[in-house]
C-alpha cells in the first residue's frame, strides 16, 4: 500500500484520555463487560442509523456461547455477518446434501436482537468441500453444481439476509483473475452466471463482489472497477462492492480511500466496508493504539462522506475472538474492544465520527 494523501484526523483530549485508560486497563483485572459497554451512550449502530447506514460485527458460531460477548454483539450492533456458517463447506458438505444449521443459528440470534444479516459467501476459492475440489468436472458439470448450490442457499435465506457476497476474492494482487476451480474450469463467465442465479433465487437481495487489498487505488481495485463496469454494461445484476479492509499499521493507510469508494459509487453500486480490522505488531502501546484509533476514525469518515457507502462491519469486535494472531503470528490487537471486552481508543474514534455525522445529518 502507498502512503495516504488524506489528512490525519485531529487527535482530541478525549482520545489521549482513552489511551491513558487503556494503559491502566492493561494492568487491571478483567473489566466488567456491562460497564465497558457504557449503555448510557448511543450505540455505534444507533448513531450509524441516524446517517442512513448500519454498523455491524461479524460472528462465528462458537463465539455465541460467550454470553458477555453475545450480549454486546446483540446490543451495540445492528448487523452481523456469519464468519463461516454460510460458506460452501458448511452449507453443502456432500454433493446435493445441504446443512444450514450453522447459518440458521446466527440468523436466529440476529432476528432475536433486531439485527440485519449479510450472507457470506456463495463462492470462494477456500473452504470448499473435498467432494468439490477433488472432483474432475467438465465446464457444464461445474456450472450445474454452482447453479444448484447458489440456488439452494439463496432460496433458503430468502428474506433473511439483505445482501450476499456472491463472489469472494476472485482477483489477484496484479488485477488478473484468480485461477480458482471455477475460473480454470468455466472461465470468467462464472461470475456473471453466479450473479444471475442469485438474483433468480431472491430478486430483492443485494448482490456484492467482495475482496481484500482493494481499499487503495491500484491494480486490484482497478480490476474490480473494470469488471463491475463490464457487468453492468452486460446487464448482469451487481448491486455492490465490498471492501474488506483488513488493514495493518505497518503497511500504511490505504491511498485515496475516500476517492476509491466514491468512484465505485459513481458506477451506480453500493459500497460497504465488510470486514474491517486494523492490526499491529505486538506488543501494543499508547502510540500504536492512538494511530489505530486515528485509522478507525478515518475509515469511518471516508464511508460517511460517500452517500452510497451503506455500512461498516468490523470482523469481530473484540481481540478476545480475533482471527489475526493465528494467521499473522506476532500481530494482533486489531479490534475496537480488548480481550476483556473493554473499549479501546479505536471505539471512541468510531463513536466520535458517527456522532459528528449524525449531528450534521440532524441539522
Q: Which residues are catalytic?
A: 169, 275
Query: Do 316 and 322 contact (CB within 8 A), yes or no?
Result: yes
Query: DSSP for 296-337?
Result: HHHHHHHHHHSTTEEEEEESSSBGGG-SHHHHSTTEE--SSB
- For cell 447458489, what's the residue? 150
Query: Do 211 and 244 contact (CB within 8 A), yes or no?
Result: yes
Q: Which residues contact 256 (CB under 8 A, 6 or more apart)?
A: 4, 5, 6, 216, 217
* Neighbour count for residue 306 (Cβ, 10 Å): 20
HEC states along 65-109? Answer: HCHHHHHHHHHHCCEEEECCCCCHHHHCCECCECCCHHHHHHHHH
- For cell 439485527, what's the residue? 115
Dist CA 110 CA 191 (whole Å) = 29
Dist CA 100 CA 110 (whole Å) = 15
Amino acid at each position: 500500500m502507498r502512503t495516504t494523501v488524506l489528512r490525519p484526523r485531529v487527535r482530541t483530549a478525549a482520545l489521549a484520555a482513552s489511551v491513558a485508560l487503556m494503559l491502566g486497563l492493561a494492568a487491571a483485572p478483567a473489566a466488567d463487560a456491562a460497564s465497558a459497554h457504557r449503555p448510557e451512550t448511543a450505540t455505534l449502530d444507533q448513531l450509524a442509523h441516524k446517517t442512513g447506514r448500519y454498523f455491524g460485527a461479524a460472528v462465528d458460531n462458537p463465539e455465541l456461547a460467550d454470553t458477555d460477548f453475545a450480549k454486546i454483539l446483540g446490543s451495540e450492533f445492528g448487523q452481523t455477518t456469519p464468519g463461516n456458517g454460510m460458506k460452501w463447506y458448511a452449507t453443502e458438505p456432500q454433493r446435493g446434501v445441504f446443512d444450514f444449521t450453522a447459518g440458521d443459528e446466527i440468523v436466529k440470534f440476529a432476528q432475536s436482537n433486531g439485527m440485519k444479516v449479510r450472507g457470506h459467501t456463495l463462492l470462494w476459492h477456500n473452504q470448499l468441500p473435498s467432494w468439490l475440489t477433488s472432483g474432475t468436472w467438465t465446464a457444464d458439470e461445474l456450472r450445474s453444481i454452482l447453479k444448484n448450490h447458489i440456488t439452494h442457499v439463496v432460496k433458503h435465506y430468502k428474506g433473511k439476509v439483505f445482501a450476499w457476497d456472491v463472489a469472494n476474492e476472485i482477483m489477484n494482487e496484479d488485477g488478473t483473475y484468480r485461477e480458482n476451480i471455477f475460473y480454470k474450469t468455466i472461465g470468467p463467465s462464472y461470475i456473471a452466471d453466479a450473479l444471475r442465479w442469485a438474483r433468480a433465487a431472491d430478486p430483492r437481495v443485494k448482490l456484492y463482489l467482495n475482496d481484500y487489498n482493494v481499499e487503495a487505488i491500484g491494480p486490484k481495485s482497478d480490476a474490480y472497477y473494470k469488471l463491475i463496469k463490464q457487468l453492468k454494461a452486460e446487464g448482469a445484476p451487481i448491486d455492490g462492492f465490498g471492501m474488506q479492509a483488513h488493514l495493518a499499521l505497518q503497511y500504511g493507510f490505504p491511498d485515496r480511500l475516500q476517492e476509491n469508494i466514491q468512484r465505485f459509487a459513481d458506477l451506480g453500486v453500493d459500497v460497504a466496508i465488510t470486514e474491517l480490522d486494523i492490526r499491529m505488531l505486538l506488543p501494543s502501546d499508547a502510540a500504536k493504539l492512538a494511530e489505530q484509533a486515528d485509522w478507525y476514525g478515518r475509515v469511518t469518515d471516508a464511508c460517511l462522506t460517500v452517500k452510497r457507502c451503506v455500512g461498516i462491519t468490523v470482523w469481530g469486535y473484540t481481540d478476545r475472538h480475533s482471527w489475526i494472531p493465528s494467521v499473522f503470528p506476532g500481530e494482533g490487537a486489531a479490534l475496537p474492544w480488548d480481550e476483556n471486552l473493554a473499549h479501546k481508543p479505536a471505539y471512541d474514534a468510531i463513536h466520535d465520527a458517527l456522532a459528528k455525522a449524525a449531528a450534521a445529518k440532524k441539522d
